Structure 1
């Protein structure tokens, strides 16, 4: 009898367990289903067919990035730059290389690596070939002032000067590096790099490569010389060949000297700069030099500086502009106005390893050099890394290359 009672209890317990498990499964798989949606109502949390998923709200990073409106929504992009989120317009569907402002001050020339042709975008937005001749695998194109001629460099280091107006070309020596045009476009400057360091020179020539003149011996320092022909025709390069010359007691910065190389071998006063990574850009008149350097004083970030650049006052009135970016991300709009793409949230020591931060999104700044004031002009509506900046002659449009896509784009300034 006792054995039978045990069996009954076991069977009863088993049945109770099955019922409990079944009820639990019901709660998990069936009880959580939503009730049917009444007619005429849309289910909450479901996007109706044919619409886009709504943007998620949030707080973008600091440093000039787009903020949110009072209700948490992203601000609407303005068609014209006014200091906030601004629309950008793509001029090409694919990547471009070596863009430059053309002679009319409003069209853009560029190279299309996909088909090997050079193009221009006219005032109506039409893309037109500059030449019927294709140039496959151009590595670099150094344009002259009016963008009707360019020095083209190919993978095998061969180089030509091509005139897009006359559709003619001239071959240059392979051992010429960093070839650029003079401000008047009738001369070239280059580093003539022979195998023997004793025969390495900074040279000038006519724009067809004739009448070569040696300017400065380079020796083993060719990589420390930056070709940079001033608009006033006085300086042709900068030599970053000095070591740290000590601590500037007035500023507390480590300093070094950059030597301007005169066209006629003049001995100009050196530029005393604070830090490392010197790179420069002449003002349109050649009166001043915009440059960037980095050091401990800037937490290793690149910092823009301005200094006088004529023979009479070379190196005078040196002062920081307080903007952390590299000078090649800037462009001149006038002798006292510069536009710069400034990386958002640039970390300390970015100047030491620039490539690590090459894809940081940029904010567009305007710097008034007469007052020293800088202000945000535009935050691109889509996070963008900007390069190859150019401003139209009338100051109405800023062109740039979108580093992410390689496309040529513009922002309306007015």
Structure 2
């Protein structure tokens, strides 16, 4: 059949117009159409404001949307049994200043993203400890039950905040390096006056009243480590003694009491002394770095009551820092141990802080250690906390800053 020329011309025009429209639509969706937005990550609370000193707010803690725990894709045991073990990611964002809550099961933490404090359980359910915001908190020191905290800010401001009563008190700006007493009714701090002759180790009530200047610091403030013992006998350690005979690394560390006590010094085989008290205050777990350990940090245990200070000192043979350990009881501790720390790694810790860790259990009564878990994903474990029943261990991931956990039972 032969088409009429006019009909043929009309069909060609329609075909050309249709093709043009199709090409235009395709170009629009390719280059100009708006993309579908992704799922927005929600963080608890509101966005933090400026870094001004917060004020006390009223109201009770309110629940927020829980974060569903996730596990790595790598295979591993659900419960730690000496091998590769799965871990649970409890928060989606970076947290800091983690401490076991007073119930012995949950973990309290600070969220720098919104300036608020929260508590979280093993299932990822989050509850705000307070509606009060603390933007840009720089340092947080919890009391034993984690219901009070000394909070330091970049402008030098310091406060004690009581999360139970929602009240706060202000501490002097020239105070630093805080720690609560075992009963939480007192605090110790370094009072850093401009004049070295006006620098003291001080103790006060938790509200800042009744200040007692106990020991002059002078130019040696950086040689004093605040560490209040659970038995209320020692409040700090001082690296100011004359060097003893026996090697360049050997030092005498002086325990500092609240009065005029004259405790025996601790002989340690290395530098960078880092203490960690047992819960009953009878023993001291510490790490030092020296030739004895190829300049890696090495864990030691020693008796540390006033009557036994310095006795029964022995190396545990574990190369890690004492602040990467947490006590589950007075005789058992769990420690995150770098998997491949090289010789001299303890001399410049900052260079090796991102090494993946394995988890070890330390039996202090026997001086033995046991590999408990190797996280399924290479993980740097910091700020360890263990639940009261020793069934769960919380930690922060050194790479991501997220709060994670690993099951021990």
How does the TM-score come out when normalised to structure 1?
A: 0.80
- Residue aligned with 2:328, SS: strand
Look at both structures and tell me which one has the larger radius of gyration over its CA atoms: 1
Alignment of 1:352-363 (within 5 A): 352-363=347-358
Offset, 1:263: 1.3
Offset, 1:107: 0.6
**2-structure distance, mates of 1:325, 1:128:** 34
Alignment partner, residue 128 of structure 2:
129
For the Cα contact (< 8 Å) 1:224–1:239, is it kept in 2?
A: yes
Deviations 1:84-106 (A, max 9, x none): 00000011111101010000000
Alignment partner, residue 346 of structure 1:
341
**1-structure distance, mates of 2:194, 2:97:** 29
**2-structure distance, mates of 1:179, 1:76:** 42
**Is 1:168 matched up with 2:167?**
yes
Alignment partner, residue 217 of structure 1:
216
**1-structure distance, mates of 2:251, 2:99:** 33
For the Cα contact (< 8 Å) 1:122–1:128, is it kept in 2?
A: no
Alignment partner, residue 277 of structure 2:
282
**1-structure distance, mates of 2:169, 2:292:** 48
Alignment of 1:368-383 (within 5 A): 368-383=363-378
Alignment partner, residue 52 of structure 1:
none
- Residue aligned with 1:268, SS: coil
For the Cα contact (< 8 Å) 1:75–1:85, is it kept in 2?
A: no
Offset, 1:282: 0.5
**1-structure distance, mates of 2:328, 2:395:** 14
**Is 1:202 matched up with 2:197?**
no
The worse-fitting range, judged by mean Cα deviation, of 75-84 and 269-278 is 75-84
**Is 1:300 matched up with 2:295?**
yes
**Is 1:145 matched up with 2:140?**
no
**2-structure distance, mates of 1:257, 1:318:** 13
Offset, 1:122: 3.5
Alignment of 1:392-403 (within 5 A): 392-403=387-398
Alignment partner, residue 54 of structure 2:
none
Deviations 1:249-304 (A, max 9, x none): xxxx8411000001122110000111111010100000000000011121100000
**1-structure distance, mates of 2:340, 2:183:** 40
Deviations 1:167-224 (A, max 9, x none): 0000000000101111100001000111111111101000000000111110110110
Q: 1:123 to 1:75 in 2, by over 3 A?
A: closer
Alignment partner, residue 44 of structure 1:
none
Alignment partner, residue 10 of structure 1:
none
Alignment partner, residue 233 of structure 2:
234
- Residue aligned with 1:272, SS: strand
How does the TM-score come out when normalised to structure 2?
A: 0.81
**1-structure distance, mates of 2:180, 2:331:** 24
Off by >2 Å, runs of 4+ in structure 1: 122-125
Deviations 1:143-170 (A, max 9, x none): 0000000000001110000000100000
**2-structure distance, mates of 1:197, 1:280:** 26
**1-structure distance, mates of 2:353, 2:249:** 26
Alignment partner, residue 5 of structure 2:
none
For the Cα contact (< 8 Å) 2:74–2:376, is it kept in 1?
A: no
Alignment partner, residue 12 of structure 2:
none
- Residue aligned with 1:316, SS: coil
**Is 1:331 matched up with 2:330?**
no
Alignment partner, residue 154 of structure 1:
153
Deviations 1:41-68 (A, max 9, x none): xxxxxxxxxxxxxxxxxxxxxxxxxxxx
For the Cα contact (< 8 Å) 2:75–2:86, is it kept in 1?
A: no
Alignment of 1:378-389 (within 5 A): 378-389=373-384
* Number of aligned positions between the proteins: 337
**1-structure distance, mates of 2:166, 2:227:** 27
Alignment partner, residue 112 of structure 2:
113
**Aligned with residue 272 of structure 1, among 254, 264, 267:** 267
For the Cα contact (< 8 Å) 1:203–1:212, is it kept in 2?
A: yes
Q: 1:123 to 1:405 in 2, by over 3 A?
A: closer
Alignment partner, residue 410 of structure 1:
405
For the Cα contact (< 8 Å) 1:105–1:392, is it kept in 2?
A: yes
Offset, 1:123: 5.6
